[in-house]
Amino acid sequence: MKKTILLMLSGGLDSCYMLYYYLTQTDYDIHAHHISLRYPSEPRWEQEDSASRRIVEYCRGIRAFDYTESRCDIGFKRYVGRDSDTQLLMAAKVAPNLRGEVQLAIGWEKSDFELEVNRQRAKNHVTENLWNALCDSIDYPLGEHISRKILFPLIDMNIDKSQMIATLPDELVDMTWSCRRPKKDEQGVIYYCGICKPCQTLRAAREIV
């Protein structure tokens, strides 16, 4: 049975690199899925949605792959938990519809573990346990071809953002969006806030490159 990689694409640098890697370095079937994650405290979904579509259009020039989108509206001011939890929930809805042996890939990289909450979650295997529970909840036999092992290719490669930027084509890097709290000027032009964690990390990576 051929393997299909279910790749969660946010529109940011990490997931963009992950998609580029799988398309250029493997012959797996690829299904990229983007979640338009909408909550008031971080109104970034329009930029992430557009970035994901630009990335997909560019990467289809490398080789063919499937792409789908979903939307998650959270009407509360505060979003509690990790974006990856929402990714897992939606991945469990997408995976049963895919062909072959399906394996989930998430674009975490080592700087994500600078946050204590992420280190504790990793120590307690929160993500893996949640994915196992979601897979177990899928009606038999629809989940039988879904691997319980999550792929973290960027962690396995021990690659950082500066190395990703140096490896990716410049035009593809420019298509990504990583800011969590975008700003808008008087002319309505959207720009990076420059102060959120992804903005700071990306700025430091660009300085290295």
List, for residues 71-122, the tens digit of each pLDDT value: 998 877 666 667 889 999 999 999 999 999 999 999 999 888 878 888 999 8
Give a yes or no: residue 198 inside a domain.
no
The pLDDT assigned to 118 comes to 86
33 pairs with which residues across the strands?
8, 68
Give a yes or no: residue 200 inside a domain.
no
pTM exceeds 0.85 for this model = yes
Give a yes or no: residue 50 inside a domain.
yes
Give a yes or no: residue 191 inside a domain.
no
- pLDDT band for 21, please (50, 70, 90 cuts): very high
The pLDDT assigned to 80 comes to 61
**Residue pLDDT, tens place only, 164-202:** 999 999 999 999 999 888 888 888 788 888 898 888 988
Report d(CA 176, CA 146) in Å as an integer: 29
Give a yes or no: residue 189 inside a domain.
no
Comparison of pLDDT for 75 and 126, the residue scoring more: 126
The pLDDT assigned to 26 comes to 98
Query: Is 69 strand, coil or helix?
Result: strand
- pLDDT band for 44, please (50, 70, 90 cuts): confident
The pLDDT assigned to 79 comes to 60
> Domain range for residue 148?
3-177
Contact 29, 3 (CB under 8 A): yes
The pLDDT assigned to 203 comes to 87
Bin 194: left if φ > 0, else alpha if -120 < ψ < 50, else beta. Answer: left
Comparison of pLDDT for 18 and 84, the residue scoring more: 18
Give a yes or no: residue 49 inside a domain.
yes
Contacts 24+ apart (CB under 8 A), 158-162: 158/110, 159/17, 159/109, 160/109, 160/110, 160/111, 160/205, 161/13, 161/14, 161/109, 161/111, 161/201, 161/202, 161/204, 161/205, 162/204, 162/205, 162/206, 162/208, 162/209
Q: How many domains does the chain have?
A: 1
Give a yes or no: residue 206 inside a domain.
no
Percentage of residues in the chain having pLDDT higher than 90: 67
Give a yes or no: residue 107 inside a domain.
yes
The pLDDT assigned to 96 comes to 98
Look over the chain and give the mean of its residue pLDDT values, rounded to a whole number: 92
- pLDDT band for 56, please (50, 70, 90 cuts): very high
CATH number of the domain that 140 lies in? 3.40.50.620
Question: How do beta strands 190-191 and 183-184 pair?
Answer: antiparallel
Picking from 177, 200, 203, the residue whose alpha carbon sits closest to that of residue 44 is 177
